[in-house]
Structure 1
Amino acid sequence: MKKLWLGFMSLAILAACSNGEEDTASVDVEGMDWDEIVETASGSEVGIYMWGGDEGVNAYIDQYVAPELEERYDITLTRYPMDASEFMSRLLTEREADQMNGTADILWINGENFRNGKENDLLYGEFASKLPAMTDYVDQAPYIDIDMGTEIDGMQVPWGNVQYAFQYNPELVDTPPTTLSELFTWVEDNPGLFTYPNVTDFTGNAFVRHVLYDVADDPADLETYNEEWLEENGEEVWERLRSLRENLWRNGDTYPETLAQQDQLFANGEVAMTMGFNEHRAESLIEEGTFPASTETVGLESGSISSTHYLSMPFNSPEPAAALVAVNFMLTPDAQIAKLDPDMWGEGHILDLNALTDQELEAIETLSGPQYVAPDTALLELDARYVDWIQEGWQREVVQGD
């Protein structure tokens, strides 16, 4: 709580400074080579806007990334914990006010927020090509070009790649469901022991996106935004969720507002399962004492959405050189392998295995742990407009629907 308070106080102070009569222009890195960028970054302070609801993620930033940046590059990194919707709204206000000296340099965002940032000119622009790690180490997978239906154009870089999985209490779940149909049957047979977050939460929305996939005859039907498919099949999606409602925790009259609230219900034993992107998330939550030590993980053999999350930069970064150096470091094998450690984050990497040393490959194999979700079950993350469709209709059709 003290760290959170200090973070917001620091943000308030920075905001007050940046709202003065003069805006100091940031360094122009456009014509610099990488050595010049690193030299310019030395001695700088950078801020990262990011969700702060996971202690393992916070520990990774505070106890690994920040000290390494300080030691290697003389860069001081400050983490500002807040929801992406909050800092994107802040950036929109700064853009409308033409405030060119912002309060943060790095953004942790997903596809929906990236689309909004790109459409509203809230992002720094193309920077990926400046980062040596992008060509030296990052897997050249489709997710470097497209994020939930939006062309990336070098305006963000992948930071982690994960699949959706369920964590369950084996004392309450004898045989964990491995398909969505089995899950719905389990909920019917065990009323009150399951729920999912409100769809304004990314994890809760993704649960419903799995229902879209389950309704579809062919996953390819949804690979691009398909309004005609929604018109023809949307009612079946809502009907499946309505049929689930009466057997949910508190009869579906209320839903956790966030994944953190969902996790707390699970930790308290009020529900038998929780869920989330990152098939290894339970390990760090067990380690820190949040989840019961008996917690186990299961993936959906019927298909599990794979999600990539990204690092970007705001249009008004006051320290773009230092931001580039920090982001580049977070893509290197050292930082990506440290991120795999379940004592901290325990989260999937974005590295090209062919670019790594034998020692690095061995470290990845050691830290990756059990394989809860088979890679061949991975489903493409859907276009962000499906997220909007779910948010626009769920309350009316499911929560209030008959």
Structure 2
Amino acid sequence: MKKFTLLMPGLVALTLAACSDENGSGAAEEKGSLLTDDWNEVSEAAKGQEVNMYMWGGNDNINRYLDEWVAPRLKEELDVELTRVPVNDAQDIINQLVDEKAAGKNEGSMDIIWINGENFKAAKDNELLWGDFSGQLPNFNDYVDAEAPEIATDFGEAVDGLEAPWGKAQFVFVHDEMKSENPPKSMEELAEWVKENPGQFTYPALPDFTGSAFIRHVLYETTGGYEQYQQPAADIEDLEARLEPMWQYLNEIEPYLWREGATYPESLAKQDQLFASGEIGMTMSYDPALAASEVLKGRFPESTRTFVLEGGTLSNTHFLSIPFNSSDKAGAMVAINEMMSPEAQTAKLSPENWGDLSALDLEKLSPEQQDAMNNVDMGEATLPLEDLEEHRLPELSADYIEIIEKGWMENVAKE
């Protein structure tokens, strides 16, 4: 999922502290009822509701999957109308909810939001989310391992039922095997490849989510692994010194980057354009099936393949949540439950639709459902799911992200 830097948490908290939560008793009764009602009652209450889903709108495949696969089925089978509302920046969602809460607006336009990481932490800390709803969803209870770390926490933050898993992502590198038959398998080998192929590598400028994720891989490999960072950043007294090898690595390869490192692509989309035109020899993605999708569209060459590092690559879960002032909470619950169904998750897995990894526990699926998911053609550019699973690394908690992004500006971009 696309993720961006948010408002300063302290500023958000001060803004919200200035105004009380003026939810009426009717809203409180609705919340208690929907979170305890029998699912049939929730489904009945959802009929005829119009649900607005606010989400990053920068990917045509994702948009088409929502508009042409999800929405028609919700309308036909459950009588819930889903409208996708695209936003350019996930920060806009949080900022709008902050403003609405400060203004005491209890009937908002957002019913479902697509968030994770820093976005979720800011929303949770400032009580912008509705309630502990995920345990009410039949498909969550039937098909999700609620105790799995990647489900129970979101970038180190306890989920507490405030969001439901929609899919999983894992970082991959993308290359043209006609140009690099044996791609690097470590950051050390990548540095060698960059120097041997000047101008053929770059990464998106921070705070781009994918560019930031690339740098987190550099952090893990140049400073002794991820384990030391599975604690709050504030607990590491010598954090600045620990980060130094990462800055040294990035500055060492910078003269050999595209345009000699004088500038960086402003987004992953810009970087992908450079790869598609042959101007650079590698790109990257947090979507393992993106390359296969781009090959299907004819943008990337058919010889495009993906690879991961031997030491592993970052993976995380992206979630759907319901804002505190959703006007159609029953419809939102039903829509989210449907998007978590084995059928919807299988369709989402196909690169022709999206190529997003399933949030479901395969062991909880029936043999027929497992076969349907395993038989999805992920394309030659996509690594086998078992290879991805074997190379998964945990994400950093959200408090590290701002430190790294600020540090990149000071230690790399300004050098």
Q: TM-score, normalised by structure 2?
A: 0.87
Output the CA distance in 1 between the equivalents of 2:74 and 2:401.
35
Output the CA distance in 2 between the equivalents of 1:109 and 1:193.
33
Which of 227, 243, 246 lines up with 1:237 in the alignment?
Answer: 246
Q: In the alignment, which residue of structure 2 is the partner of 1:381?
A: 395
Q: In the alignment, which residue of structure 1 is the partner of 2:310?
A: 301
Q: In the alignment, which residue of structure 2 is the partner of 1:71?
A: 76
Output the CA distance in 1 between the equivalents of 2:31 and 2:76.
23
Q: In the alignment, which residue of structure 1 is the partner of 2:283?
A: 274
Q: In the alignment, which residue of structure 2 is the partner of 1:20?
A: none
Q: Secondary structure at the match of 2:171?
A: strand
Q: In the alignment, which residue of structure 1 is the partner of 2:173?
A: 166
Output the CA distance in 1 between the equivalents of 2:141 and 2:39.
13
Answering whether residue 337 of structure 2 is matched by residue 328 of structure 1, we say: yes
Matched letter for residue 237 of structure 2: E
Matches within 5 A, 1:331-350: 331-350=340-359
Q: In the alignment, which residue of structure 1 is the partner of 2:152?
A: 145
**Are 2:152 and 2:158, in contact at CA under 8 Å, matched by a contact in 1?**
yes
Q: Which runs of 5+ in 1 are unaligned?
A: 1-22
Note the C-alpha offset of 1:125: 2.0
Output the CA distance in 1 between the equivalents of 2:327 and 2:130.
11
Q: In the alignment, which residue of structure 2 is the partner of 1:206?
A: 213
Output the CA distance in 2 between the equivalents of 1:392 and 1:231.
12
Matches within 5 A, 1:1-400: 28-31=30-33, 32-82=37-87, 83-140=89-146, 141-226=148-233, 227-367=236-376, 369=378, 370-371=383-384, 373-400=387-414
**Are 1:169 and 1:296, in contact at CA under 8 Å, matched by a contact in 2?**
yes
Note the C-alpha offset of 1:71: 1.1
Output the CA distance in 2 between the equivalents of 1:235 and 1:75.
52
Q: Report the aligned-residue RMSD.
A: 1.8
Output the CA distance in 2 between the equivalents of 1:368 and 1:154.
33
Note the C-alpha offset of 1:189: 1.0
Note the C-alpha offset of 1:215: 2.0
Note the C-alpha offset of 1:29: 4.3
* Segments of 4+ moved more than 3 angstroms: 23-27
Matched letter for residue 38 of structure 2: D
Output the CA distance in 2 between the equivalents of 1:74 and 1:203.
37
Output the CA distance in 2 between the equivalents of 1:181 and 1:361.
38
Matched letter for residue 95 of structure 1: K
Q: Secondary structure at the match of 1:367?
A: coil
Post-superposition Cα deviations, 1:243-301, rounded to whole Å, max 9, x if no partner, equal 11111111222212222122112112221111111222211222223322321111111
Q: Secondary structure at the match of 1:213?
A: helix
**Structure 1 residues 368 and 224: alpha-carbon distance in aligned structure 2, compared to 1, 3 A threshold:** farther
**Structure 1 residues 131 and 79: alpha-carbon distance in aligned structure 2, compared to 1, 3 A threshold:** same
Note the C-alpha offset of 1:367: 1.1
Q: Secondary structure at the match of 2:300?
A: coil
Output the CA distance in 1 between the equivalents of 2:282 and 2:225.
28
Q: Secondary structure at the match of 1:296?
A: strand
Post-superposition Cα deviations, 1:176-224, rounded to whole Å, max 9, x if no partner, equal 1122211111111111111111121111110111111112324211122
Note the C-alpha offset of 1:144: 2.1
Output the CA distance in 1 between the equivalents of 2:306 and 2:358.
19
Post-superposition Cα deviations, 1:300-347, rounded to whole Å, max 9, x if no partner, equal 112111111111111111110000000011111111111111111111
Q: Tell me whether 247-256 or 39-48 shows the greater mean CA deviation.
A: 247-256
Output the CA distance in 2 between the equivalents of 1:236 and 1:76.
52
**Are 1:109 and 1:310, in contact at CA under 8 Å, matched by a contact in 2?**
yes
Note the C-alpha offset of 1:164: 0.6
**Are 1:277 and 1:307, in contact at CA under 8 Å, matched by a contact in 2?**
no
Note the C-alpha offset of 1:368: 5.9
The alignment covers a number of residue pairs equal to: 379
Note the C-alpha offset of 1:171: 3.4
Matched letter for residue 30 of structure 2: D
